[in-house]
Structure 1
Amino acid sequence: MAEVNAALLALARQALREWDLGGAHLEPIGISENASFRVDGPDKRYVLRIHRPGYHTLAELDSEQVWTAALREAGLDVPVPVRTRDDDGYVTLPFDGGERHIGLLEWVDGELMGRIMDREPSTFPEHFRAIGRIAAAIHNQSAAWTVPNGFQRHRFDVEGFVGDRAFWGPFWDIPQLDAAQRGVLGNARNAVADELSRLDDSANTFSLIHADLHPHNVVVGEQGLHLIDFDDSGFGWHHYELAVVLYRYRDLDGFNDMQAALIEGYRERRPFSDADVTKLPLFFLIRTLVHLGWRAERPEHGTDLTEEIDDAIREAKEWMG
């Protein structure tokens, strides 16, 4: 069982009344950015998610459900939200001097793909090909989809990655940097902005993406592959989607084969040119840089960023040459 404080547990119990599940059993399953609980109702099992404060507005969360509904219509296996008794997608409750948005999803049985891959490395190629096909299906839907009026999600564009109001924070200006490090990351910021500004940002290559489609966000079940955690989803380059899939595996033996399998699976359903593949190192670097910004803004995950800074400096220097 994941550790959870009494206040969050009480908030979860209060929220369940909005789905007429006040007496259901709650089991914490993940307490990090969001707090997640397994809910054992009288007839069904669910997931209750208490969303982190300040990350998404209610309109952005409602838009996420609009998009996942469209993805389901396109044949993708994605989270199914449960409406409240008042037919709302979320309930908003006061908590700790602010408020928290809370949603309920249908439970899906299975095992995380990432855990299977950790246990059985021989399955890497087949699983990367499978994620490639899923990523292509997502992009096929989003590139052709007419975004409805009022739809709100963030953008992973030049401004979103390296602008003055970067979505995950100013990695180039965090307090832990010394002058030399600040200079390197400032140069990297400018070089990334210049490179991104040259990329095609039409719907053919830039549309809604999951943005966190690594193997630990894919559930392998009896009915197939189920995608979870659309919390980071927004408008972005398709290259970034694929870079995130591969990111944590870059230093493993056989990485080139993993990347080839992912691209092979993707190309079964959607074009991705050799020139597109050459852009992946740019998005690997971006992932490293934005992770540094993300960590700096979340001291609850630790304040010693020495390793993250060293990695960012090394990768930035290698990429810039």
Structure 2
Amino acid sequence: MSSFDELSDVERIERFERLARKVLATYGLEEAELRYLGQSSNVMFRVQTDEGRWALRICDPGRDHQILRRELLWLVALCRDTDIVVPEPVIMRSGDLFRSVSMPGLPGFRACMLFRWVKGQFEEEPTVGQLEAMGVLAAKLHKHAETFCFPDELEPVRVSPETVGDNIPAALLRTHYAQHDAQSILDTIPLIQQTMLSLGPGPDVCGVIHGDLHHRNVPFHEGVARAIDFECVQWNLYAYDIATTFSYFSGRSDFEALKTAYVAGYSAIRPLPCSFDEHIPPLDMLRSFALIALILRTPRLRTDEWASGVLESAVRKANRLLEAR
């Protein structure tokens, strides 16, 4: 364990605050008020002055800069081309969208970036009306994605039927799951592939997506759904975003009403890119693969309560999918 990992929470936060001050100087905001918001894969601070409020993200060392550039370029394009409210990247005095920064007492170089603050309230139990607003939001994102292209050098790897399951080697899966549970998860791969093949690769069904578009990343302001946390930007089926949204609502008694409202909101902007009942369950399982891979490759997450719930629910989802085939 490194000496940094042995520090108390207070000491670690103090070091991150010093790094934040160093970064904010590149924006002319070194005197701003700072509030620590927490740490997951990033350290986040709220930055405030009399002129405005921003969110500062300090990434963990080793973050892929190409992935960060894709995220930031799409956000810039969304702010320029649409009325969707998303975190707008702030350009540094140097003209850069982000910069890798180091500091004595903190291991590694960390990519840092500043975003304009997105106003809104999060709802742990969104209403039917809010699901309709989430449908509108997703459809607007997907409509923009129909014509959006990254520069050739930033073109992302496309999630395709051939890549399903590549992120979780069977041997790694079996280090956590009982043999029969691991096999159930692996047995869903052909069903996911079949779903993806049936939807096809056209721009009406595939493109750049948010990748993590659930209600905890969607603040509501005056009845309008907004989106934050674009770190999982990827090229995938638009229906994957829809599956992500509904992966949190399967146990709700008003699920059908939520679905109807969401579809109505989405369809007001563009046609639904899938058959909800046929295609969403397999794509929900595809999302489970991504989450399982993240958890099993991140030792500190394996004992987390959220992670344990994800790993357990993946088995239930796999069994339901296999029973319904």
TM exceeds 0.5?
yes
Query: Contact 1:171–1:289 at 8 Å: present in 2 too?
Result: no
1:280 is matched with: 280
Residue 222 (structure 1) shift: 5.2
1:43 is matched with: 51
1:143 is matched with: 146
CA distance in 1, matches of 2:138, 2:210: 8
1:312 is matched with: 314
Residue 237 (structure 1) shift: 0.4
- The alignment's TM-score, normalised by the length of structure 2, stands at 0.85
Matched, 1:268 2:268: yes
The number of residues matched between the two structures is: 308
Secondary structure of 2:199's counterpart equals coil
Residue 15 (structure 1) shift: 1.4
Please list the CA deviations of residues 192-233 of structure 1 after superposition, one character each: whole Å capped at 9, or x if unmatched. 334434431111101011111222222223594432111111
Query: Contact 1:126–1:261 at 8 Å: present in 2 too?
Result: yes
Matched, 1:27 2:47: no
CA distance in 2, matches of 1:23, 1:143: 42
Gap change, CA 1:219 and 1:307, over 3 Å in 2: closer
Secondary structure of 1:13's counterpart equals helix
2:3 is matched with: none
CA distance in 1, matches of 2:107, 2:154: 28
1:173 is matched with: 172
Query: Contact 2:132–2:263 at 8 Å: present in 1 too?
Result: yes
Query: Contact 1:90–1:101 at 8 Å: present in 2 too?
Result: yes
Q: 2:115 aligns with which of 76, 99, 105?
A: 105
Residue 179 (structure 1) shift: 2.7
Query: What does residue range 44-193 of structure 1 map to in structure 2 within 5 Å?
Result: 44-55=52-63, 57-72=64-79, 73-94=81-102, 96-112=106-122, 114-115=123-124, 118=125, 124-158=127-161, 161-163=164-166, 166=167, 169-170=168-169, 173-174=172-173, 175-193=175-193
Letter in 1 for 2:180: A
Gap change, CA 1:38 and 1:309, over 3 Å in 2: closer
Secondary structure of 1:75's counterpart equals coil
CA distance in 2, matches of 1:62, 1:15: 18
CA distance in 2, matches of 1:228, 1:205: 22
- The alignment's TM-score, normalised by the length of structure 1, stands at 0.86
Please list the CA deviations of residues 222-276 of structure 1 after superposition, one character each: whole Å capped at 9, or x if unmatched. 5944321111111110111111111111111111111111111111111126735
1:14 is matched with: 22
Gap change, CA 1:307 and 1:19, over 3 Å in 2: closer
Tell me which moved more, 284-293 or 185-194: 185-194
State the percentage of identical aligned residues: 24
Please report the RMSD computed on the Cα atoms of aligned residues, expressed in angstroms: 2.6
Secondary structure of 2:207's counterpart equals strand
Tell me which moved more, 238-247 or 299-308: 299-308
CA distance in 1, matches of 2:115, 2:254: 37
Query: Contact 2:75–2:89 at 8 Å: present in 1 too?
Result: no
